[in-house]
Structure 1
Amino acid sequence: MAEVELIATTAFGLEAVVAREIRALGYERTVVENGRVTFKADESAICRANLWLRSADRVLVKIGEFQVFSFDELFEKTKALPWPDWIPENAVFPVQGKSINSKLFSVPDCQAIVKKAVVEKMKQRYRRQWFEETGPRYTIEVALLKDVATLTIDTSGAGLHKRGYRKLTGAAPLKETLAAAMISLSRWKPERVLIDPMCGSGTIPIEAALIGLNRAPGLKREFDAEKWPVVPAQLWREARQEAEDVIHRRRQLIIRGTDIDKDVLSLARYHARLAGVEDQIHWQQSPVAELRARQKYGYIICNPPYGQRLEDLPAVSRLYREMGQVFKALDTWSFYVLTAHHEFEKLFGRRADKKRKLYNGRIQCDYYQFFGPRPPRRDSITAPEPVAEPD
């Protein structure tokens, strides 16, 4: 089976998380760079990576990479790449682009040149002058960074955060990929209780349930590369069957999602049902002030309001002080809070054991991590810690 070079793109700050997910799939040859993780594997990795990567944005096939300082160079070096090995003559092949600190700063011009170069290459292979573009989709991207051009084809289609379960959204939705990364960074174990006390439309509890059941996040959706002749349908069938076979169907999780808003809770229940995890999550309408838990050594993972608008700041400040008081009573628990509010620790009343810069969309946030004590040995025989997450 032919070896391919793939790029898993990711939000800044999540590269190490995505690299760990790739290695967990058995692909050890990874190169981690800002915003992406490159790895080499056989063709089946296109299927498995799309189905399994929880925190990546997309999976791209890397067609070529080269230095470029002029539009003529971009055309000739793009034309030299083996596009017809991937793209059939009936394909739809739009070109997207981006340019950062490159002499070729006009993205529309770069897109047009790459499109023309690909067409010229395909003319040589298919012996025709016109391509109707009525078949499967192959989205090409030309990414220029400091005069290095990377040419890729997107295998995913819609971004990997589109799991297929979130049909409706409330205000300021958290992307599924970021929610999964927050859980991964916490090192939560499925035998431990997890609560999101400001769950909104349910993304964090649902992603936790998918992780706890070892259910591939892409099982309920389709990908562009499923329609590509170059990736045999048998590989997709085998990858999907593999994902079905390893689900922990008998595992019972202890996950709670609470929120003061009954309307968003109805969305959360709906999304959990679509995701197939409705029997794994207990939903409850409740303010943060009423948060209680009988269990010990649990996890709170949440994405509270940030107070981005000035008129919201007083309410958010009160909420953070309240969180500090309520969480303090859960003295064996670990807390993980994502917020863009720079005064969070002061309001919460405690310095984080660790914090990590992440991006919620375009908003720069900090992920505050407060590590609880290790559980007694008898409770952790099957799941040794550490609680703290290494970089």
Structure 2
Amino acid sequence: MDDSQISSLVTEIQVGRQAIHDRHLNVYAYELLYRDPKERLTTYNGDQASSRVLLNAFMEIGLPRIVGQHLAFINLTEAFFTEMPDIPFDKENVVLEVLENITITEPVIQGVKKLHQRGVRIALDDYCFEDKWHPLLPYCDIVKVEIPSVDLDKLPALLAPLREQGIILLAEKLETSGEYQVLHDMGFDLFQGYYFSRPSIISGRRLSENHFLVIRLLSALTDPESRIQDIEELIANDPALSMKVLRYINSAACALPRTINSIQEAIILMGHERIRSLAILIALSRVRNKPASLFHTASVRANMCSEIAHHVAPELRNSAFTVGLLSVLDVLMDQHMEVILEELSLSPEVNAALLEQRGKLGEILALTLRHENHDCLGEELLSLQTLQKIWLDSSEKAFALAAA
């Protein structure tokens, strides 16, 4: 494969990610997902794109834009472990995954061993406790156990030998809160799966005091009848909220020429709607016992919805930002969206977008969610390349906010 072919494939590869959480629900790393834009696949065909191409793609995009300061788990083809090309970024930033469909040959074993000796972290993907993997275990730092494929009652005994070797245990493909709790109690170190992005709704459940206080703050912040003075007073009278808003505004992410010392100054300089949106995101982060990646998701969706609106309906940018932010409410509150929205004073257009993805705002949100789920091949609204750039820019902004 010549350089022009490699460059073409690098340009075509579309990248997504899934968060990996630690025992405290903080983000430990992101697994990078990539696919051929011509097909609805979550992994790029190894015969079409070599590991060299994949690594070059991540290098060209820039890992910090995708994962911030977190580790990146990267799935690589068998040829990588036998041909051993250079890794184009710091080994401290990546974990290389040995996929379950790789044939365990002597060259693969020696390749993994050499990487281990160089200090590169190695993970075994979709581990099912088969003997064929035993030669690799001495050189692996992390084992990813595919939960749907194992008997949970027998799992503790199966894990014991891995613990004795000091291997980090990652439970993947978690679907429910029950699975998460059992595996947490079992002593798993890391967790990954759709459970962290889906609501665990319990019918008839009342909002906790913490949730109620957040909803009350959101209700005031999202009230379409609120005046600039009302928003200023609301934020200024909440010391923690005011401090976080000012900290972000004065961070490198905003790159303002001078220090802003009051909410009034911030509103004058940055605008009523931008400060309101920032306060909404900070209010959402007050919900307890939820994974940190969820607030990052809200921030990415908000920025992405706003930027899509900039291209297709500029007059809706502020509303689109709010729709993106609030689209995680059902997961945050463990309640049906319609129940939560009854407590908020949102416009009919925003409600329709959040409940049924109707109207122009709903169309923008639906496109954002399809791209997030790697189920978007480019739409009439925007090309896939434009959407990918918007997603990367939105991710970068979200990490900047979290660091502020």
Q: Give me the TM-score of the superposition, normalised by structure 1.
A: 0.31
**Between structures 1 and 2, the one with greater helix share:** 2
**Between structures 1 and 2, the one with greater strand share:** 1
Q: Give me the TM-score of the superposition, normalised by structure 2.
A: 0.30
